[in-house]
């Protein structure tokens, strides 16, 4: 399965467009991660724990996107876009949302 952010695949002919596929990954708040991130916010620097969280989330979202595209009989997913966001749960925390979206296609 080819996963790409481009809308064409060099040398390939798209036979049919199977539809838009979307995958979501949601992570809950973590007190320790949030605490250390707030310290980094004060003293500056990168927040490795959140960087790892987003890397893992993007990988999982792409893996789920691939699974959903395979269920449609796709050979590839083109035009992939990955978005991140938050969902406010209450005053004490948020959920982190990572979404991958693309177009499932069948190639010749």
Chain segment 50-82, per-residue pLDDT in tens: 778 889 999 999 999 999 999 999 999 999 999
- Structural domain for 78, as ranges: 2-107
Would you say the C-alpha torsion 61, 62, 63, 69 has a positive or negative sign? positive
Domain count, the chain: 1
Fill in the DSSP letter of residue 69: H
- Predicted confidence (pLDDT) at residue 102 exceeds the cutoff of 90: yes
Least confident of 17-26, 36-45, 83-92: 36-45
SS (H, E, C) 10-41: CCCCEEEEEEEEEEEEEECCCHHHHHHHHHHH
Provide the pLDDT confidence category of residue 6 given band limits of 50, 70 and 90: very high
Average pLDDT value for the chain: 85
CATH number of the domain to which 96 belongs: 3.30.110.70
pTM over 0.85: no
């Amino acid at each position: 399965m080819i996963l790409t952010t481009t809308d064409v695949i060099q040398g390939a002919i798209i036979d049919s467009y199977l539809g838009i596929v979307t995958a979501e990954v949601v992570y809950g708040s973590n007190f320790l991660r949030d605490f250390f991130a707030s310290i980094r916010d004060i003293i500056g620097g990168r927040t490795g724990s959140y960087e790892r969280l987003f890397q893992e989330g993007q990988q999982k979202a792409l893996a789920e996107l691939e699974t959903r595209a395979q269920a449609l009989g796709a050979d590839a997913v083109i035009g992939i876009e990955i978005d991140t966001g938050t969902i406010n749960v209450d005053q004490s925390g948020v959920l982190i949302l990572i979404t991958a979206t693309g177009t499932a296609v069948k190639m010749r």
